[in-house]
A = this chain, B = another copy of it.
Amino acid sequence: MEKNKLKKIIIEIFEKFKLSKKHSVICAEAIINAELVGAPTHGLSRLKMYCDRIQKKLINPKPKIKIKNISKSVTHINADDSIGFVAADTAIKKAIKNAKKTGIGLVAVKNSGHYGMSGYYAEQAVKKNMLTLIFTNAPPAIAPHGAIKSLFGTNPICFGSPTGSKVPFILDTSVSMINRGKIRVASRSNSKIPEGVALDKFGNPTTNAKKALEGVQLPIAGFRGSGLAWMVDILSGVYTGGNHGGKVKDPFDDFSGPQNIGHLFIVIKANLFQPNYKKRIKENIKRIKKLPKLKGLNEILYPGENKYRRYKKNFKFEIEIPKNIMEDIQNLLK
């Protein structure tokens, strides 16, 4: 479907579900961005879920978002169970504003929900010539090192920086070995998953996708990745007032209450210490790109380059919508 037409439809759906025009636009833009960067798991495939949760009063379509300024740099946001997109958009804009004034902005959010991709908000800061670190927790997906039960979410660590070119440096990495989606695909096609990415329900390593789905996913690099996932849970959940320690609800199948996800946004001015920051990072990237490469590899890419290329390419075309999602959309419009 043509992008602008799709955007109008998404806005119409969210307005139908009682979101304000402004909030509906924020959500529609984030969802379309996910499709364009090639992350459909964070795009249209979640539209019905968001609407279901609104209908079940687990997402508040008319949130009274409370913004509490603690100092010129520091703000706390109680998102009042708003849809995650709106909470995150409010928070990154506030963090940028604080950083403009004092060099650094720290914004903590509680009572939020799934907000799509951290990198999308990081890009807003980078466009204002700022660096950013963004942390959010998520429903249980990964077993802590030594455990045989999932508790940590995929808990992404996101870092963004200007590069002196139009392609931002956006690292947005989960700390799981493999996406759950890939295990699901392998399970359906009866193919194996790589070694070392999952355990079965008894805690034994498995390459059987079905057994992995009944078991747990493993963090990257054992205790290192487990420690990073734990750090993200503390920074975004324990610290902000959000749910934590395995209590973030799965948005697709747990309707026992709002998700209460927490997020933490740190934004710092790029030229706070070095007026020639852009020149410095350009030089940094140049040195790394010039390194001798693995056989068959033409280019070393920095985080965010691939995504940017996918965006540029996809932008030229209509967005392909799978049949089942098209049906969702038609039902939501009814």
Contact = CB atoms under 8 A, between A and B. Distances in A.
User: Which of A239, A240, A245, A273 has most B Cβ within 10 Å?
Assistant: A273
A76 B273 CA distance: 7
A103 B73 contact: yes
A274 interface: yes
A64 B237 CA distance: 41
Nearest to A131: B239
Contact of A203 (B102, B281, B294): B294
A287 B246 contact: yes
Interface string A173-185: 1110100000000
Interface string A281-305: 1011001100111110101111100
A234 B281 contact: yes
Contact of A230 (B76, B102, B149, B171): B171
B145 A300 contact: yes
A270 B234 CA distance: 11
**Interface size band for A:** 35 or more
Contacts of A161: 234
B303 A230 contact: yes
B293 A148 contact: yes
Contact of A291 (B73, B144, B287): B144
A227 B303 contact: yes
B171 A108 contact: no
B220 A272 contact: no
B146 A294 contact: yes
A102 B74 CA distance: 8
Interface in A23-74: 70-74
A245 B108 contact: no
A1 B301 CA distance: 51
Contacts of A213: none
Nearest to A276: B241
Contacts of A237: 284
A122 to B, nearest CB: 12
B104 A171 contact: no
Contacts of A233: 284
Contacts of A144: 288, 291, 300
A326 interface: no
A287 B230 CA distance: 12
8 contacts: A131-B234, A131-B239, A146-B300, A147-B292, A220-B224, A220-B225, A239-B274, A245-B288
Interface of A: 70-74, 76, 102-104, 106, 108, 110, 131, 133, 143-149, 151, 157, 159, 161, 169, 171, 173-175, 177, 203, 220-221, 223-225, 227-228, 230-231, 233-235, 237-241, 244-246, 266, 268, 270, 272-274, 277, 280-281, 283-284, 287-288, 291-295, 297, 299-303
Given A149-B291, A203-B295, A239-B273, 12 more contacts: A71-B103, A71-B104, A76-B272, A104-B104, A131-B234, A144-B300, A146-B300, A159-B231, A171-B230, A173-B224, A203-B292, A244-B280
